[in-house]
Chain A
Amino acid sequence: MKRLISLLAALMLVLAAASACAGTADIHITEESGGVFKPLPLNLDGGYKLPAYKYSKDIEVYEDPTIRVERHTVDLHEEWLVTCYYAIIEIKDPSQIRTASADEANPFRSQAVKPAKAIAALKNAVFAVNGDYCAAFAGNKSTNYIMRQGTVYSESVEPSLDMLLIDEDGDFHILSADQDLAAVDKTMVDGKKVVNAFQFGPALVIDGKPVPDEIIMNPDRSPTYAKPGAGEIRLCIAQIDKLKYMVVTCAHWGQELNRFRDMVMSLAPVQCAYTLDGGLSASLVFLNRKFNNVQSGSERPITDIIYFASAWDMSGAN
């Protein structure tokens, strides 16, 4: 009997070790692997190609000397009544937070759409998230301001929607719709050049403080269809620290916007959080695979993404 128990215990140990090994499917590329750090140019090109890897749904971390992405799927039903999908992204250089359009020929000006994973694949994105659906030329997003990768594609401004500016250092700034957005300089902020600007909103957290309910629950401060008081699939991008970001969304039956804000704040000490397009557009793409709400059938194609790319050039490495 003792022998049998010892044998079973040994077997369990072997299985545990095997499963532990199987769990470490994450991708870690070190400086020893070869390669060189090169900041990415301020244009619509993608990041450096990632080394060949075999995708597995067990991969939860991608890391190279210039970027670390950690994705999570957590069941938060007890407190927040949702499954939550989020990713923490750390980059070495601000040029690694980038934007791309579904339409290569007429970027950010056409209604052309494709799934986020297709846009991400073309740009060698490590992690991508849908943007603000900038080409939704309808409702209160028909006149939204569009600046991507340092170029202004639409100068008109939707006065009722908060604006997110990302400057050349990769820092987030919110321009509240309380002010005259048309009159404010959107190309420079705190003496730094703005690289990307979005109009969806509203902002959920500014300078580490939650935006009050009376603002974020006001339907006029959200784009058409966003309905802040309804249980919708929400999505936001947040800055946690210098060159450290978080992207969060929730599953299926969704949340009201104020509950979503509180959930986001419970996940990490965010400095700034801004709502992007949610619903079926919500796409968190890790290594060219969408990992949120994958059971809800086909992916809704979208017009634009925000993505994080590697600045580690391994083309010369052996």
Chain B
Amino acid sequence: MPVMDEKTLAYGYNMEINLTPYLIFMGCSVAACILWFFLSARKELPAGRAAALSGLTLILGIVLGIAGARLVWFLCRINTHPALFSLKYDELSYYGGAAGVTLAVWLSAKVLGLSGRGTLNSFAPMGAFLAAMVRFAEGFLAMEKVMLGVGAWMEEGIFFPVTVEFVYDESYSEFYLAVFMFEGLFSLIAMVLSLYHKNDRDRFLRTMYYLCLPQIFCESLRAMSIKWLFVRSEQLFCFLFCEGVLIWHGIRKKEKMPSPVPGIVFPGMMKKERYTFLERFSPALVGLLVCGVVIVAEFALDGKILFHGEMIPKWVTYGFVLAGLAAMAAAEHKARLPEQ
């Protein structure tokens, strides 16, 4: 009786899948990211230190990125008692990998005596670029009919990058929504935003926010995601991160900037005005409201919430989700301190 143990799973039928183009693309993307990071660091640091920073980031990034990707996947699926030490391409968490790379950049900065926050701010656009490339790389998996980054099966294809085709033979092929392409494009948008806000004190945080926000939508489109009961766990991570950012902005936002009219009041005599609770935390409340909308939407998409006994059209459901996420983007803008 053949049993699909971990060894068979790792070396059995997956041998048929050609991962080489995927791995080459990933390797090139990492190299491009690190080169860009080096060139960026070179503007602030001597060549040697810039090389040390980018080299250390590369080594630690690979180790911690993979370790983070596996650890988060393992924790998300702990109820199925998976093996911790296994490296299957489809048993890694994208978000764990991102967390691992972030930690690697921070540790590299600390080892070289640099500011962790400043280094992360510098790395933000490169991180967004890498996030986009990792998503685009899933196109090579789709060519191998691996359903990792794809969305719904579709009756008919549209065009790339909206749909991707799985060709079985001349007489049969299937079309899927190419969600990995949308995710990659959203990450590129986050990269552009990050480049635009290069003097932002919270550049890294803001970039992460705009990486996570569209992921809440994209995770919902995906055919396959790690779930805890009905909750898509990685969608939850993204939401928690975004909500955390909004709350953090609220906590920091205590006193209003005094009126900058020179000659009227001396700085020491200016009356400090405090923000009201609503002014500080209304963006976070918007976030909670959007969370409710997303939960309802997930139930509706799964057919557990019906309207007059019929499924709610998907475009209506997704329309609400997108409107909610746009509100969260506006909330982030409102939540920030005026001087930012």
Contacts and interface: CB of A to CB of B under 8 A. Distances in A.
A149 B216 CA distance: 37
A106 B3 CA distance: 14
A295 B14 CA distance: 39
Given A105-B17, A113-B224, A297-B311, A151 B79 contact: no
A314 interface: no
A106 B228 contact: no
B152 A301 contact: yes
Contact of B224 (A107, A110, A143): A110
Contacts, number: 97
Contacts of A297: 303, 310-311, 313
A137 B172 contact: no
B172 A121 contact: yes
Nearest to B311: A297
Interface residue range, chain A = 35 or more
Contact of B4 (A111, A152, A224, A295): A152
Given A110-B90, A112-B223, A298-B311, A151 B2 contact: yes
Interface string B74-98: 0001011100000000100000000
Contact of A111 (B145, B152, B153, B225): B225
A296 B1 contact: no
B303 A103 contact: no
B202 interface: no
Given A143-B80, A296-B310, A155 B3 contact: yes
A142 B77 CA distance: 9
Contacts of A109: 4, 9
Contact of B1 (A104, A110, A152): A152
A301 B79 contact: no
B49 interface: no
B80 A142 contact: yes
A212 to B, nearest CB: 30
Interface in B217-242: 223-230
A150 B2 CA distance: 7
Interface in A67-119: 102-107, 109-115, 118
A300 B152 CA distance: 10
B198 interface: no
Given A118-B174, A153-B4, A137 B147 contact: no
A156 B227 contact: no
B2 A152 contact: yes
A122 interface: yes
A143 B81 CA distance: 9
Contacts of B227: 111, 137-138
B14 A105 contact: yes
Given A150-B1, A152-B1, A301 B80 contact: no
Interface in A205-237: 224
Contacts of A191: none
Contact of A112 (B16, B224, B309): B224
A110 B147 contact: yes
B314 interface: yes
Going nearest first, the 5 A-B pairs with the smallest beta carbon separation are: A297-B311, A112-B147, A280-B303, A114-B153, A152-B3
Interface of A: 102-107, 109-115, 118, 121-122, 137-139, 142-143, 150-156, 187, 193, 224, 252-253, 279-280, 295-298, 300-301
